[in-house]
Amino acid sequence: MKTMTMVRFKPKPEYFDQFVDALKLSVPNSYILTRDEEVLEIWLKDSVDELAEQQPSALDWLDRHRYMLEKYSPEEGHTRPFTAFVEQEPSYIKRGN
């Protein structure tokens, strides 16, 4: 079953553009969104196994760029991740339009 993952980041203001550029280069097949002071990365994977395979490299990337981020809180750290199973996609995506 397809899996959708979304990770929210809060770059330090002085690194905002640099962080967005670095994220775009590292994951060219994901959606990168910005809203106010946050950056969201969203990607779809064909299975949870595929997601699990990419986690080590994603965590390595985050470790190299963590200095650009503000913590959400001492308990939460530098990201707010969310993963869910895709139950339905819009029909226009399924047709390939």
21 three-class SS? helix
Question: Is the per-residue pLDDT at 94 higher than 60?
Answer: no
Specify whether the CB–CB gap between 64 and 57 falls below 8 A.
Answer: no
Mean model confidence pLDDT for the chain:
89
Question: Could you read off the pLDDT of 53-90 as tens digits, one per residue?
Answer: 888 888 899 999 999 999 998 888 899 999 999 999 88
**How many CB atoms sit inside 10 A of residue 65's CB?**
18
Place of tokens 């650009």: 68
Threshold 0.85, pTM exceeds: no
Residue pair 55/73 in contact (Cβ under 8 Å)? The answer is no
